[in-house]
Amino acid sequence: MKSYAQLGMPYLRAPTMRTVPLYATSIILTTAIIIVLFSIRGPPSLDFLDTTPLNSAKKHPDEPLPVTQSGWSFDFKRDARNFGLDEEQCLAAFPDFYKEIDRALQYRREVAGKIKPEELEVDWRPDGMMRAMIHDNQLYIIDAHGLDPPNHRARAIATLNAIQRALTASAIPLPDIEFTFSVHDDAHTSEDDTHTTWAYSRKAHQTSLWLMPDFGLWAWPDVNIRSYSELRTQLALSESHFLDKIPKLVWRGSLAVGSHDVRAGLVEHAANQPWSDVMELDWSDKSNINSRLLSMSDHCEYMFVAQTEGNTYSGRLKFLLNCHSILFSHKLDWIENYHHLMQPTGELQNFVQVKRDYSDLPKKITRLLDPKEVQRTELIADNARKIFRERYLTPAAEACYWRALIRGWASVQDFEPSFWWEVTETTAEGKTLKWKPRGTPFESYAIMEEVEWELPAKGRRICIDKDEEEKAEEPQVEQAQEPIEVPTGMQTEQQGDDLVPQQADVPVDEQTR
């Protein structure tokens, strides 16, 4: 056999019995040194994400959900739209959901005392208030206070429908209560207001408010969300796998809002970045809107979605959390009933928290886009999907929360709601005292949108502009008049969060978010 030198490769030597074990020993020693050094230094620092060591990026086995005495446990695919879970099932499926109810109960028990009838008056606010009652598991509307504006009307109807659904799905009757709720983004009229009512959101100091689910969890046709359940179905069928999504951060919004500093900071620090699809919307420019406006399904096609408050809380947050994407958000001033479930750190991290001005955004998103961090990046998105889309933001969870809210309110109510009231009617024979139910059943209110009406009832006229309605009531003239074009402001409803334009007759405090 020819040697390596004879084959023209003198720089190679045939292995000998001595060199083979020598090579093996060298490899073993090198590997041992690397392991020792890594153990001493520990895993690389992750200060950028403010999270725990790199080991947390590994796929952790899901913790088993609590089981009821009968052996039942929540299954997302089976139970996500089960509106009739009993109290034990609700506690097992969503054990961490009721923090805001517990907080409100503690406030009443330790500070304000039990709820008295005089606290249910709604005239402290000029509009946007609803007073209602649950009697014998039936929903009654007592006073629809200033709900004529289209924005107020839509929210009230959505909220009442959600309450009605939670009631009728319950196999066990709920306690009788009388309550009020506000359809305003900020239920209070001033910083020192202490009225008690149900509200969509609150600031930390507004301890007298009881948080209820947002109206958008029923439907929000104004922003083309015809049904919350339908949106979730669309995402389940059409949303891309996380790693196949557009590797960019998406955001659309107006800067003309109360939290201008937040949105301006986001736009500034995302400008001219290869990972950015952040754009300002100008509702006065139709071409701007036509070219930049995105649907919620469009948002969910991006790996990263940005969340910003506007004048108050963000109406889009719950929808963004339904995306299998990574949410970027500043620390929130406004609280909704599920915000405490958002985890910015640790092995259960489900979003990325940034500074209020988004100045640390470039550093954080660059790290997440590093191919070496793909496991961690996907884990954050997976955590968000498991906590929100597949659990605490399911329609089933919403129904459970409504029933827990009703039970909690009843436990600190200092009176039994009166179902009947005395009514004196004048007949041909004289005055007669009669008893009449207080309020109007939800079934009638959903059709008439009135607490009282004359018979024969007039049909409701909806979706008619004020100009057209007033014109229809004017006497007809023989000679046709030149049409007068009345410009309407291209505004967005405050909580609407730049998803669609709204007409300018929206109340002042409900303007662009």
| Both structure tokens of 352 | 């990325």
- In the block, which residue shows the tokens 């029923």? 218
According to the model, what pLDDT value does residue 481 have? 40
**Dihedral of alpha carbons 233, 234, 237, 241, sign:** negative
According to the model, what pLDDT value does residue 418 have? 93
According to the model, what pLDDT value does residue 403 have? 99
**Exposed, middle or buried by CB within 10 Å (0-12, 13-18, 19+), for 197?**
buried
- Alpha carbon 301 to its chain centroid, in Å, reads 18
pLDDT digit string, tens, across residues 46-61: 333 443 333 334 444 5
> HSE on the CB side for 351, CA within 13 Å?
24
Work out the number of other CB atoms within 10 angstroms of the CB of residue 386. Answer: 15
| Both structure tokens of 425 | 């009617």
Burial 204-217 (b: 16+ CB within 10 A, else e): eebbbbbbbbbbbb
Distance CA 197, CA 195 (A): 7
According to the model, what pLDDT value does residue 28 have? 59
21 φ/ψ sector (left φ>0, alpha ψ -120 to 50, else beta): alpha
| Both structure tokens of 181 | 């709720």
Cα-based angle 505, 509, 513 (whole degrees, multiple of 5)? 95
Q: Which residues of the chain have pLDDT under 50?
A: 1-20, 22, 35-60, 477-496, 500-513
Phi, psi (degrees; rounded to nearest 5) at 220: -145, 70
Q: Whole-model pTM?
A: 0.80
According to the model, what pLDDT value does residue 480 have? 43
| Both structure tokens of 418 | 């009166």
**For helices 395-411 and 99-107, angle between their N-to-C axes, nearest 10 degrees:** 10
pLDDT digit string, tens, across residues 441-477: 999 999 999 998 877 777 665 555 556 555 555 555 4
According to the model, what pLDDT value does residue 316 have? 96
